[in-house]
Amino acid sequence: MPFPRANAEVEVKSRAFTLIELIVVILIIATLAGLAFPVFQSIQNSAKKAQAKNDVTQIVTAVNAFYTEYGKYPLATADTTYGPAGSSANDLLFNELRGVNATVNPRQIVFISPPDVKTPTKPVSGIGTDASNLGQYFDPWGIAYNVAIDGGYDNQLTNPYSSNAGSAPLQIGVIAWSFGTDGKNEGAGTDKNTGKNKDDVISWQ
């Protein structure tokens, strides 16, 4: 009876993926990625909303701190809205609050100090540095923040979303808001909670 040789080679068979198996694996990965993307987008948008809420709160705090320091609001001599919802860009207001080229902040006090935007021509989350947006304060979606100030000093401001409270004005001296995910102003009076403006981020609720 013959014995196997000690140095006999053991044949090892390796099995490669077939084309069909490779396609199936790719389809599974693509499906999982497709399911994960909306979740990632939702998490990212939630983080942006949280940042915007923090920003508008800080803006209101800064304007009120200016009032405490100087006994008046910066610039406004009548009820004024700065930003896309108003008649003036918000750069002059934030120059005063940042103590940069300020005209009514003679002590150059820094009431708020947002970072500069990372990409000057596509401003997001900070102060614009390009000639076309210099000094403006932008939200996480790339739209300038809106700030309304009670320059009439009657502690009343028109509610930008008056459907929420009828025609009653807000009993407050300063408000700030962002147009949110869609970056659009759907018009004064649109309901903040159920209308097209429901993605907006506001300081007074």
Which amino acid appears at position 89 of this protein? A
Whose tokens are 């970072």? That residue is 115
Contact 149, 90 (CB under 8 A): no
Q: Which residue do the tokens 């399911």 mark?
A: 35
pLDDT digits (tens, 9 = 90+) for 172-205: 999 999 999 888 877 655 555 556 678 899 999 7
Residue 146: band (very low, low, confident or very high) from pLDDT cuts 50, 70, 90: very high
Core vs surface per residue 40-53: b (16+ CB within 10 A) or e: eeeeeeeebbeebe
Residue 37 confidence (pLDDT): 72
pLDDT, tens digit, for every residue of 85-110?
998 999 999 999 999 999 999 999 99
Higher pLDDT, 196 or 156: 156
Query: What is the predicted pLDDT for the residue at 163?
Result: 59
What's the predicted TM-score (pTM) here?
0.78
